């Protein structure tokens, strides 16, 4: 390969591999009135999450919960959401009126009982948010209005940001290939290139 072509290839590779093409999480609203999170990654899938304070029947009247029938997915979502709310420093969710802030992620609804993983923090929140690993039964009489996290899928699989380590590996492999090719090529053939 000609040196100019190798230089161009390395330049393009640095741009592609070094570019930040992963989805970044963004808080929607303020830390004292959080309305949702854009770009939350759960199990390799990117979601936009909206916090809605209403009854289960109203929230899921036209669209079932994203994690319906998927308790482990709801649990993973609660852990990812708790991590983001803590890292953003959120102290209050939109519409919360009860003394304990609970954000429900529904995964099952049977005979008036909603089973959900949930994220919680005291109101006002002064400690990190906690994602619950176990499902909780939430009946619609005790919790007629509650904050629910509605998940809308944005992408199936985020492309990872390889960054500097990946760029270094790519350049090292390219350099080794070029060295190996030069070593194998007879000296007379190199003069023609």
Identify the CA nearest to 46 among candidates 166, 152, 124. Answer: 152
Summarised one tens digit per residue, pLDDT across range 40-95 is 999 999 999 999 888 888 888 888 889 988 888 999 999 999 999 999 998 888 77
If one compares 156 and 155, the residue with the highest pLDDT of the two is 155
Q: Is pLDDT above 60 for 109?
A: yes
Task: Decide: 74 and 107 in contact? Cβ < 8 Å.
Answer: yes
The C-alpha angle with vertex 84 and arms to 81 and 86, in degrees rounded to 5, equals 110
Stretch 142-164: mean pLDDT: 70
Question: Are the C-beta atoms of 92 and 125 separated by less than 8 Å?
Answer: yes
Every domain of the chain and the residues it spans: 3-21+162-192, 26-155
* pTM of the predicted model as reported, rounded to 2 decimal places: 0.66
**What angle separates helix 3-18 from helix 163-184, to the nearest 10 degrees?**
160
CB atoms within 10 A of CB 5: 9
Question: Could you tell me which of 155, 148, 9, 25 has the C-alpha nearest to residue 83?
Answer: 25
pLDDT category, 166, cuts 50, 70, 90? low
Residue 191 has pLDDT above 50, yes or no: yes
């Amino acid at each position: 390969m000609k040196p100019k072509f190798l230089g161009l290839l390395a330049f393009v590779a640095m741009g592609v591999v070094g570019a930040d093409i992963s989805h970044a999480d963004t808080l929607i609203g303020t830390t004292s009135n959080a309305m949702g999170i854009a770009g939350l990654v759960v199990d390799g899938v990117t979601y936009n999450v909206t916090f809605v304070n209403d009854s289960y029947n109203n929230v899921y009247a036209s669209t079932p919960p994203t994690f319906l029938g998927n308790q482990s997915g709801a649990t993973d979502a609660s852990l990812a959401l708790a991590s983001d709310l803590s890292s953003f420093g959120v102290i209050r969710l939109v519409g919360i009126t009860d003394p304990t802030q609970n954000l429900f992620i529904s995964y099952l609804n049977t005979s008036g009982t909603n089973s959900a993983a949930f994220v919680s923090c005291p109101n006002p929140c002064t400690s990190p948010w906690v994602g619950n690993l176990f499902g909780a039964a939430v009946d619609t009489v005790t919790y007629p209005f509650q904050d629910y996290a509605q998940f809308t899928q944005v992408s199936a699989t985020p492309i990872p940001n390889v960054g500097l380590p990946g760029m270094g590996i790519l350049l090292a492999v390219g350099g080794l290939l070029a060295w190996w090719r030069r070593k194998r090529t007879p000296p007379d053939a190199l003069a023609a290139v």
